[in-house]
Structures are given as C-alpha cells and as structure tokens.
Amino acid sequence: MMMTDDILATLEKIDQQIVRLIADRRDLVAQVPGGLSADQEVEAMSLWIDEAVERELPEDPMEKMGKLLSQVCRKRGE
C-alpha cells in the first residue's frame, strides 16, 4: 500500500502531465488553419463523453471539462 506522501507525489506528477497535455493540444489546435471546425469540436466532445462513460467517470463534469478545454485551445488559435 502506498504511503500518503507517495500518493501525493504521484498525484502531482499526474497533474503535471495533464497540464502538459492540455498545452500540447492547444499548440496543435493553433496549427490548424482557421482552428477546429464546429463539427470537429463536436466530434472531440463526443470522444470526451464516450471515454468518460467507458472509464466510469461522471458524464456531466467531463462534458464541462471538455468544453473548457475547447475554450483554452480556441483562445490560443484566435
């Protein structure tokens, strides 16, 4: 069983990875001429929801996070 300090250190690493992946996604979206289309954003949102359901994560909060992620990525590309 992991000790609390080990768990917290692992959580910190995961959080750093999440932030790094968001920045990577933002940078890639900025490379798409004109940014992602509305259809592409809907497709990405569907993926978020499908992945959430598959991993037994709450659908509504995951949809909200997906929308926030789209906003973060869109701002860089604007």
C-alpha span between 30 and 36 (Å, rounded): 9
Q: What is the mean pLDDT of residues 20-43?
A: 93
pLDDT at 28: 94
pTM for the full predicted model: 0.83
Q: What percent of the chain has pLDDT over 70?
A: 94
Say which residue the tokens 């359901």 belong to.
53
**Domain edges within the chain:** 37-78
- Residue-wise pLDDT for 11-24, tens only, equals 999 999 999 999 99
C-alpha span between 11 and 76 (Å, rounded): 27
Q: Running DSSP on this structure, what letter comes out for residue 56?
A: T
C-alpha span between 44 and 31 (Å, rounded): 17
C-alpha span between 2 and 6 (Å, rounded): 6
